[in-house]
Copies of this chain bind each other. A is one copy, B any other.
Amino acid sequence: MLIREADTEDWHAVWPFFRTIVRAGETFTCPTDLSEQDGRDWWLLSAPHRTVVAVDDAGTVLGTAKMNTNHLGNGSHIASAGYMVDPAYSGRGVGRALCAYTVEWARTAGFRAMQFNAVVETNVHAVKLYRSLGFEILGTLPEGFRHPSKGYVGLHIMHRTL
């Protein structure tokens, strides 16, 4: 698996699984009816922020990550990131590789910590992954997310120093 910079061509490979994940409405606090254009504007970031894709040996896009500053001004030493893995390629360590990549990016770029603002507590796979990579739950917004089948569930704020 290779992780490399995403270009606009990659978006055509990303959008089908990105749309599936967004439409399901179980893991992201973004509009579930997000248009392709809005999705691209949200996900494909410009420097100094970055968006990457994880690809296999055949060049198939398995997942994507974006990484960016979380707070501005005197909070600009805090980074954030987001990940989407094609469900067809789950369980292969793609999310882990992408998350580790963004942590390394943030450290190298001089950020002092990384924060996730809204991790849906029922997304237990993600919570477990982030914990295993050194993130801790700073707090949980009670009933912060309306899960389509589980009702109101918590939104974790997660954090790790770099």
Query: A residues near B, CB below 8 A?
Result: 25, 28-32, 34, 71-78, 112-113, 115, 117-118, 137-148, 152, 155, 157, 159, 161
Contact = CB atoms under 8 A, between A and B. Distances in A.
B118 A142 contact: no
Contact of A141 (B32, B138, B152): B138
A61 to B, nearest CB: 24
Contacts of A141: 78, 113, 115, 138, 157, 159
Given A25-B73, A138-B138, A141-B159, 6 more contacts: A31-B73, A32-B74, A71-B155, A75-B118, A112-B152, A113-B144
Given A113-B144, A117-B117, A144-B113, A74 B139 contact: no
12 contacts: A28-B73, A29-B74, A30-B72, A31-B73, A32-B74, A71-B144, A71-B155, A75-B118, A75-B146, A77-B146, A113-B142, A115-B144
